Structure formats: C-alpha cells, structure tokens
Amino acid sequence: MSLLIKNALINGKKQDLYVYQNRIQHISPNISKQADDVIDASQKALLPAFYNTHTHAAMVALRGLGEDKELNEWLTQDIWPREAKMTPELIYQASRLAILEMIKSGTVFFSDMYFYMPETIKAVDEMGVRAAISVVGMDLFDPRQTQEKKKQMRSFFETPVPTDRIIKTVACHGLYTVSEELFLFAINLMKEQKTFLHIHAAETKQETEDCSQRYGISIVEQLNKWHALGPKTILAHAVHLSEKEREIIADTQTVIAHCPISNLKLNSGQMPLDDYLERGITVTLGTDGAASNNSLSMLGEMKIAALSAKNQANNIKAGKVSDIFRMATRSGATAFGLDAGDIREGALADFILVDLTNPLLMPPYDLTANLVYSADSSCITDVCCNGKMIMKERTVNQEKEIKKAFTEALEKSIQ
Ligand SMILES: [Zn+2]
C-alpha cells in the first residue's frame, strides 16, 4: 500500500510526500515514484492531524442535555440516569457518530473513557482511526462493584483487539468515585501491562476538598503516595493544583490533558496553562465528552485554549499559537507513545490536508495562527491515518448510514 501527495505546502515549502505502508517515507519536490493512490494537493497544505487526549466519545448521544448546570448537579441529574439506560448498540452507533465528527474536524486519535468498550473498539477498527481504550475503574465505594470492576479490567487485557491502532490503557474515573482498593489495583495493572493510566483529577474545587477530607492530603499528593504518577499517567483537567502539586507533576513528568471548553462551560475554573508550560509540564489537549463541550473539534479547543490561557494569566504572551498547536498535535501523540504528530520522514503517516482557498485560511501570513484562531472543519478536506485516507474531499465512508443508524439506536434506547 503506497500513497503519493503531490504539490502540497509542507513545512513551508511546495513538496511531494510519499507514504509506504503506514509511514512517511519521503518528502521532497517532484517525487516520481509510482503509488497505489495519487492525490493532487496543489491548493492545499499538509499538516499534522490532531490527537484528542481526553474524551468520552459515545457521550455524543447526550449532547445538549442538562445545559447550564454545575458538574455534580449535571452528572447526577442528567448524565448518570441516562447512561444507565444506554445499550451496547447505542454505544456502537454513538461511537461511530463521534468518530465521524472527529475525522471531519481532522482528529485521528482519541483517548476514551467510557463503557461497553467492545462497541467502541469495533467502531475504531471499522473507521480507521486510532484510540486509547480502557475499561473504566469506577465503583462509587461499593465493595461489590470493586470486585466486579477488577474482574472486568483484568479480563480486558486478556481479550485481543482487532487492530494495532488501538492502545489498551487503564483508567480510573477519579478520586471522588473510586475506592482506594480499586485505585491500587488499577495502578498495579497499569505497571504490569506497561501501559498508560488515565484519570480525571482536580477538575473542580469540590473534588480537591473531598480528597483532603477523605485522605488528609491533596489529589496529586495522594496519587504520588500510591506511586501512580509518571510520564505514562495522564491527568484530565488538572485545573486546581497547589504549588506543591505542580512541583510533583513536573518532577514526575506526569502528563496533563487540558480540556478548556469543558472547564469553562461547567464553570469548573481555568487551568493556569502558562504556569504549567513554564515549569516544563507536558500539556496535551482534549475535548472531554460532547455532553460538556458540546463539540469534539480540536479546532475549537485550540482557540479556546489560547484565549483561556491569556485571560487566566492576564498576559498576552500566554497561550502562544505555536504552543497550542503543538499541544493538539505532537504532544498528544507522544504522550501515548505514537511516533507521530509532526510531518517528517519516518513518522507514522497521520496528516490532514487543508484548503488554502477557504476564506477562513486567507491570507496565508501565518497558517498555524489561522488554524488555531479562524479555521473550522470546512477547511479540512482530507485526512490520512496510519497511511490510509479516511476522508477524501470531505467524504467519509458510510456517512449517511452512520447518521441514520445512530438516530434509530437513540430512539430505541432512550426515548
Ligand atoms: Zn472527562
């Protein structure tokens, strides 16, 4: 399988790009190799695709429910009761719809935290994207659920997945929903399986206060005490961290998945991005679920990340375009061990093509700034993941069928 992109703007120059199997093999002007697929990109730029490091994909089925409520009220009144009625079929169809939205906005990878994972795995396999998938540890401090979750989390690692585009991870919902016993089990499992650990942490002030009451120390200190932190641990949100917690995160090279839209929308607070980056902390970007965003587009996330950083720090130098773009691309990919997120020979062949004649990308003084601040999905014409075109000229396979099947599954399941 080979692919040749002709005459694209790549790293600031008009060039061709040749993909063999799933890697970028060659970038230079006038490549004359034969390829199975040849794409003329004369009016286009070729850029890294996006890596969404924290989401709940199938929550697209809950988009628009319980608006204007705070996190706890929203979870207990609107989200959890409806999630209890969701069927595996709805999770499958909602995952397909979410992936469709992600592809159309240039995302090729998402780190997911949800349930009925075989359904999401099937959707990822069929639609050609990458994902980090886990069985979520969450027992609400009920000992029966603790044992049940342990079994499910263990057996997830004993079941093969259909594609190497899927990374099996360990997830714990958060310190306010997971017992110490289940947390310690998850941390051991993560180490034993040499994989990643994905946790909601310090999203709200309430959560930090609850942790102090339960354990007598802060969330990050408690996670550190359990030896849960390190470069393979991804903390989603991390909005409310003390000075000491920030030092621990930097020292242990723990990764943060910043979700600025969800944090602003649920009025959870603004993460001090500038301070974290200055400390050398790896910050990546996630959309969170569509029920609290309400979009899965990393384009919108980048813009709000930049604006939120400037506003929070009261500093025009905060949330720089180059930092924000790197968080959405290279930092997200490398956080999950993917040799991708930039355009270079030898890297995994994940990229997007953008239409330079789209009014939102004109004039071309600063293409990255245009991507962060003015682009929407209509600018992205083509998406390649793992060497395969999964969107061409804005067409994704089976789009009509995906939307129809989702609507039918939603009607059957919830109403
Ligand atoms: Zn979340």
Q: What is the pLDDT of residues 137-196, one digit of tens each?
A: 999 999 999 999 999 999 999 999 999 999 999 999 999 999 999 999 999 999 999 999
295 CA to centre of ligand 1 in angstroms: 13
Alpha-carbon gap, residue 84 to 52, rounded angstroms: 26
pLDDT value of position 415: 56
What would the pLDDT profile of 48-63 be if each residue is shown by its tens digit? 999 999 999 999 999 9
Ligand 1 centre from 114 Cα, in Å?
9
| pLDDT of 72 higher than 90 | no
State pLDDT tens for residues 77-110. Answer: 998 899 988 999 999 999 999 999 999 999 999 9
Whole-number Å distance, alpha carbon 149 to ligand 1 midpoint, is 19
Q: Output the CA 218–ligand 1 centroid distance in Å.
A: 20
- The 10s digit of each residue's pLDDT in 283-301 is 999 999 998 899 999 999 9
Q: At 227, which amino acid appears?
A: H
Q: CA-to-CA distance for 304 and 81, rounded, in angstroms?
A: 30
pLDDT tens digits along 225-274: 999 999 999 999 999 999 999 999 999 999 999 999 999 999 999 999 99
Neighbours of 285 (CB within 10 A): 27
Ligand 1 centroid to residue 138 C-alpha, Å: 13
Nearest to 296 by CA among 45, 58, 75, 125: 58
Cα–Cα distance measured from residue 201 to residue 338, given in angstroms and rounded to the nearest whole number: 24
What's the CA-to-centroid distance between 76 and ligand 1, angstroms?
15
**How many Å lie between the centroid of ligand 1 and the Cα of residue 298?**
15
**Which of 320, 324, 310 shows the shortest CA–CA distance to 258?**
324
Q: Please tell me the predicted confidence (pLDDT) of residue 261.
A: 97
**pLDDT of residue 11 exceeding 80:** yes
Q: Which of 94, 128, 92, 125 is nearest to 108 (CA)?
A: 128
Distance 200 CA to ligand 1 centre (A): 6
Checking if the pLDDT of 276 tops 90, the result is yes
Cα–ligand 1 centroid distance for 55 (angstroms)? 6
* Structure token pair of residue 67: 């608006």
Q: Please give the pLDDT value at position 74.
A: 85
Question: Cβ contacts of residue 84 below 8 Å, gap of 6+?
Answer: none
Average pLDDT, the chain: 96
Confidence bin at 71 (pLDDT 50/70/90): confident
What pLDDT score was predicted for residue 414?
61
To the nearest 10°, report the CA torsion of 183, 186, 190, 192: 120
What's the confidence (pLDDT) of residue 143?
Answer: 96
Domains of the chain: 2-48+345-396 (2.30.40.10), 50-335 (3.20.20.140)
Write down the pLDDT at residue 69. Answer: 86
- Going by C-alpha positions, the residue among 16, 61, 67 that lies closest to residue 40 is 16
Q: Which protein residues have a CB closer than 5 Å to ligand 1 (ion)?
A: 288
